[in-house]
Amino acid sequence: MDLARRVHVTLVEGPDHPPDLRSNDVRVYTNTADSAELEEREDENVIPRVEREVRLADDAPSLDEVVEHAAVLASSTPLPLSVDLENGYGPRPESAALAVQRIGEAGAVGGSIEDWGAEDGIYEQGLAVERVTAAVEAARRLPFPFTLTARAENHIRGNPDLDDTIARLQAFGAAGADVLYAPGLRTLDEIGAVCGAVAKPVNVLARPDLTMDELAEAGAQRVSVGGALTWTAVAAFASAAEAIRERGDFSGLGAGPPLDDWFR
């Protein structure tokens, strides 16, 4: 498999005393490159999401490639994995079910299915619910607890209709999804409206203008930072490189992190 293709994988549980992702605890998900050992030393409610990539590819990975990559990660870390399955690699309910089945067989303990596809756009709600139902049924057939997250993509796909988003999440919850996620909610009022309208834990995408306490007070029980930490690191790298190129200024290199402490 070409490991240069981009695959998103989330580390979700510790093997000795795994947290119940369907509990009421508030947890943070991070996308940080190759950070499993670093994050494993932190608070148990900070769940590292590892995005390992050599470069960004122009074409999306296939399900076969994602499954192979996830299997490599599952065998390389003591932490179980959850995989971003996007639309399940096909519009039909059977596609979503197969994606969950195969990623579970590869060693993942969770995954997400969204209601948007690159070719079809946002799926009609009835079809979206059928897809979540099929994914849930596939998850329940696995011989271990599999946490299924259902995503409503409206707010990042040009349709910021809060009422429709809530209706979709309610339907996904009724279909058996363990966690509900509407990336792109922008205000505490929107987050509060979603959390107050559904019966399952809600994941939200972190924003720099909102604090963890504010998100939790609004009802969020899962908080993802997406790729923001990666891009924060990239911005620091670029700033230091530009200073060297333009002014011969090496001050941006600063002091390195305490690697000896982190990896001892």
- Count of domains in the chain? 2
| Same domain (yes/no): 29, 85 | yes
Q: For 54-88, what is each residue's pLDDT tens digit? A: 334 456 789 999 999 999 988 888 877 888 899 99
Task: Give 30's pLDDT tier (boundaries 50, 70, 90).
Answer: low
Residues facing 95 on adjacent strands? none
CATH, residue 206: 3.20.20.60
Where is average pLDDT lowest: 121-130, 139-148, 228-237?
Answer: 228-237
Decide if 57 is inside a domain.
yes
Provide the whole-model pTM.
0.80
Q: Would strands 202-205 and 121-122 be described as parallel, antiparallel, or unpaired?
A: unpaired
Within-domain flag for 46: yes
Structural domain of 260: 228-264
Q: Which residue has the tokens 């994050």?
A: 39
Asked, for residue 221, whether it belongs to a domain, the answer is: yes
Clarify whether residues 126 and 253 are in a common domain. Answer: no
Let me know if residue 2 belongs to a domain: no
H or E, element range at 131: helix 125-141
CA-only gyration radius of the chain, Å: 19
pLDDT tens string 80-115: 788 889 999 999 999 999 999 999 999 999 999 999
- Collapse the DSSP code of 210 into the 3-class scheme (helix H, G, I; strand E, B; otherwise coil) and give the result: coil
Judge if 208 and 243 occupy the same domain. no
Say if residue 183 is in the same domain as residue 70.
Answer: yes
Residue 246 lies in a domain: yes
- Does 60 lie in the same domain as 110? yes
Quick one: 192 and 242 in the same domain?
Answer: no
Same-domain pairing of 160 and 246: no
- 145 in a domain, yes or no? yes
120 C-beta neighbours (distance < 10 Å), count: 12
Tell me the C-alpha distance between 45 and 29, whole Å. 9
Is residue 16 over pLDDT 60?
no
CA distance 256 to 28: 25
Whether 113 is in a domain gets the answer yes
Is 105 among the domain residues? Answer: yes
